[in-house]
Amino acid sequence: MELWRYARQRLFQIGIIFFVILTILFILFRIAPGDPVSRMIGPEMTTEDAAHLISQLGLDRPLWVQYVYYVKNFFSGNFGHSFHYGRPVIEVIGDRLPNTMLLFTTSVMISALMGVFLGKIAAWRKGEKTDTVMTLLALVTHTVFLPWMALILIWIFGYRLGWFPINGMISEEVWLNPTSGFFAKSVDVAHHMILPLLTLSLIYFGSYLLIMRSAMLETLKEDYILTARAKGLTEKVIRNKHASPNAALPVVTSVGLSLAFSINGGALTETVFSWPGIGRELVFSVSNNDYPLAQAAFLLISAVVLVSNLVVDILYAYLDPRIRY
Amino acid sequence: MPSRKKKILEERSRRWRRMERWAQGWAIYKKNFLGRIGLVLLSIFVLMALASFIPPLVDPMYKPMSGVDPEITASTGPSFRHWLGTDFMGRDLFSQLLAGARVAFTVGIASAFVSIVLGTLIGMTAGYMGGWTDTLLMRTADIIMVMPTLLVVLILAALFGQLNIWSIVLIIALFRWPGVSRVIRAQTLTLKERPFIDAARVAGASHLRILFRHIMPNVLPLSFLYMTFRVTAAINIEAALAFLGFGDPGTVSWGMMLQWVWKTGYMFKAPYWLLPPGICISLITLSFYLLGRAMDEVLDPRLRKEGERY
């Protein structure tokens, strides 16, 4: 039950943080130069539609009433109309969110697991060639400029070798074909996902590897490792059962701290690969001055970061009982 | 002994001690192979930034932004006239690359400096004052920390129109202090309990004097270390922003060069254009990163013993 109380407490804190972000965005949209009404009402809307939307969003009311409407609308999912798509923002976002979540969660998990696994080996073989190569590789891939890495991978694997599609998430011939079943469609998505996933994992596994490596070296100095050795346990058992679970804890923390950072990378990757996600939608809406969509995309992304943070915190508390007291 | 002479001697010995400390630090730094590589790479980039003033002097067509080779109308490969080739308008890529180094240093160092100053001041205040001040400052830090900086800059670009390079620098700095302030706060908390702070307080030092005279010198090395990591963050965010097409249109940064090669459809045709800017961004990031890691080893004695104990 300790864990439950901790989770509730974190949920409360995260709720407050989200509310602050919501408020900051409201203020920004009002203090920016230009007319706030024209920012939410598209130029191509009919007068009646516009009037309806204005009253729905409370744009004709005093500022504090607008704020109440804004918060209420947020929780009822009413973000206004997208200028570019000409349909409710919530629908556009609803289409994109699963795609982003798919890419984001898979890439975070793959890079964290890769980092833990390789970091463990590097620490175990400290000073040997394996360690040097892995540490160097981690340092180099970690510092490569992400969009450039994406372009290079597209150039090599998409263009030169032709192994993977260079953009998008699905191929029309598979999805429009009535005979292709769920399996064929999944394979198609996976095929499109490999390059974006490779980009993100290559960029992010390095920092996890370095953290895991130093945490593992730190753990190996602990007394209980000496005890395990004295008991005559095999090296493999000591490494995998005694040392690495404890050493992996800092990696979990670091995953939580770098979530905002990975979201930046996710938006860049989505844009380069034309992956239909929220990050790319945000970049697009900013170039198109599609304010309602930009606002909603930003809020949704912040919410994703916060919820993932919560998940990481709970996972951490579950793995390390010391944190709860 | 007359007191003036004593003072001079004291000053001299203090200076001597300081030099000795630098020498010791350098001796440790020197042993770090990767740190040496970082320094070499960094010096190359400094030379590039300095050399960026030369090509426009040789011929106006080598101006990175406005200089156009009149004989060229499309991107061409490397030649004697254009060492790295030209872009789609016939502008010289080599001089753009050199100018990019200057922009990277300006953006990276200016924005890292501002965020480090903010982070150090806020962290010190939070740690030293405690109580409500601490809670307020640290909760603010938490909120800023979960916001993805790149996307924040994008939203601001949407609302306030085209951002120039200095507003980009400032925004990055304003969103990148929380990490530093957390570390500085933790350091201040341990310093606060040390006897010399009590001694200063008993001697009648004010809060400001204790903060700036006694605590700050002890946290500054740490701030300096974090500055190297902030430089890389700032360079990367500016490059990403330029790459997405929201950079300052008046500057030639490496991100901008990548955006041009990507958007003009030369990506698959012109490796001489695609490769250099990306390599430069990655290597300058790597060099600051290696510098930071090596400095970490100088500042944190625990890291040094790593090899001896296991």
- What's chain B's average pLDDT? 84
- Nearest CA-CA distance, residue B148 and chain A, Å: 5
Task: Give, in words, the CATH class of B33-301.
Answer: mainly alpha
Q: Give residue A237's pLDDT.
A: 87
Top residue of A10, A132, A145, A203 to mutate, by most chain B CBs within 10 Å, is A145
Q: Is the pTM of this model over 0.80?
A: yes
- Nearest CA-CA distance, residue B43 and chain A, Å: 18
- Nearest CA-CA distance, residue B247 and chain A, Å: 12
Q: Give residue B123's pLDDT.
A: 93
* Nearest beta carbon to residue A28 from set B147, B159, B307: B159
CB contact (8 A) between residue A268 and residue B143? no
ipTM of the predicted structure?
Answer: 0.85
User: For chain A, what are the domain ranges?
Assistant: 96-319
Q: In 10 A of CB A289, how many CB atoms?
A: 17
pLDDT in tens, B32-47: 888 888 899 999 999 9
The residue of chain A nearest to residue B239, with distances taken between CA atoms, is A145
* Nearest beta carbon to residue A260 from set B146, B157, B245: B146
Backbone dihedral angles phi then psi of residue A241, each to the nearest 5 degrees: -100, -35
Q: Give residue B170's pLDDT.
A: 92
pLDDT in tens, B104-119: 999 999 999 999 999 9
Q: For residues A101 and A279, is the Cβ–Cβ distance under 8 A?
A: no
Burial of B32 (0-12, 13-18, 19+ CB in 10 A): buried
Q: Give residue B307's pLDDT.
A: 35
DSSP lists the bridge partners of residue B86 as B92
Give the span between the Cα atoms of B127 and B188, in whole angstroms: 5
Give the span between the Cα atoms of B307 and A126, in whole angstroms: 9
Q: What are the chain B neighbours of A257 within 8 Å (beta carbons)?
A: 145
Q: Give residue B305's pLDDT.
A: 43
Q: Give residue A324's pLDDT.
A: 57
Q: For residues B169 and B107, is the Cβ–Cβ distance under 8 A?
A: yes
Q: Give residue B278's pLDDT.
A: 92
Please, how many CA atoms are within 13 Å of residue A235, restricted to the half-sphere of its CB? Answer: 4
- Nearest CA-CA distance, residue A259 and chain B, Å: 8
Q: Which parts of chain A register pLDDT below 50? A: 325
* Nearest beta carbon to residue B158 from set A220, A271, A286: A286
Residue B310: pLDDT band with limits 50, 70, 90: very low
Question: In chain B, count of helices (H) and strands (E)?
Answer: 14, 0
Q: For residues A171 and A165, is the Cβ–Cβ distance under 8 A?
A: yes
CB contact (8 A) between residue B307 and residue A279? no
Structure tokens at A119: 């970091």
Give the span between the Cα atoms of A119 and A123, in whole angstroms: 6
Top residue of A83, A143, A166, A238 to mutate, by most chain B CBs within 10 Å, is A143
Q: Give residue B302's pLDDT.
A: 56
Cβ-Cβ pairs closer than 8 A, A with B, add up to 129
Q: For residues B93 and B75, is the Cβ–Cβ distance under 8 A?
A: no
Q: What are the chain B neighbours of A300 within 8 Å (beta carbons)?
A: none
| Phi-psi region at B74: left, alpha or beta (left = phi > 0; alpha = psi -120 to 50) | beta
CB contact (8 A) between residue A28 and residue B310? no
Q: For residues B147 and B175, is the Cβ–Cβ distance under 8 A?
A: yes
Top residue of A22, A148, A285 to mutate, by most chain B CBs within 10 Å, is A148
A82: Cβ contacts below 8 Å, ≥ 6 apart? A42, A88, A89, A92, A285, A290, A292, A293
Top residue of B34, B147, B291 to mutate, by most chain A CBs within 10 Å, is B147
B150 shares contact with chain A (CB less than 8 Å): yes
B49 shares contact with chain A (CB less than 8 Å): no
Give the span between the Cα atoms of B245 and B266, in whole angstroms: 16
B245 shares contact with chain A (CB less than 8 Å): yes
**What's the CATH fold of domain A96-319?**
MetI-like fold (1.10.3720)
The residue of chain A nearest to residue B176, with distances taken between CA atoms, is A261
CB contact (8 A) between residue B258 and residue A217? no
Structure tokens at B81: 């006239």
CB contact (8 A) between residue B160 and residue A33? yes
Top residue of B34, B154, B162 to mutate, by most chain A CBs within 10 Å, is B154
Q: Give residue B83's pLDDT.
A: 75
Burial of A72 (0-12, 13-18, 19+ CB in 10 A): exposed
Tokens 């290696």: give the residue.
B290
Q: What are the chain B neighbours of A295 within 8 Å (beta carbons)?
A: 155
Q: Produce one character per residue of A214-248: b if its CB has 16 or more CB atoms within 10 Å, e if not.
A: bbbbbbbeeeebeebeeeeeeeeebbeebbbebbb
Give the span between the Cα atoms of B60 and B92, in whole angstroms: 11
Residue B309: pLDDT band with limits 50, 70, 90: very low
pLDDT in tens, B248-307: 888 888 999 999 888 888 888 888 888 999 999 999 999 998 888 888 878 765 554 433
Between B282 and B88, where is the model more confident? B282
Q: What's the CA dihedral at A302, A307, A308, A313 to 10 degrees?
A: 130
Q: What are the chain A neighbours of B240 within 8 Å (beta carbons)?
A: 145-147, 264, 268
C-alpha separations of B114 from A268, B49, B218, B253 in Å: 26, 21, 19, 21
CB contact (8 A) between residue B148 and residue A152? no
Q: Give residue A81's pLDDT.
A: 77
C-alpha separations of B56 from A105, B256, B276, B282 in Å: 48, 19, 20, 26
Q: What are the chain B neighbours of A142 within 8 Å (beta carbons)?
A: 289
Q: Give residue A323's pLDDT.
A: 61
Return the H-helix or E-strand segment holding A133.
Answer: helix A129-143
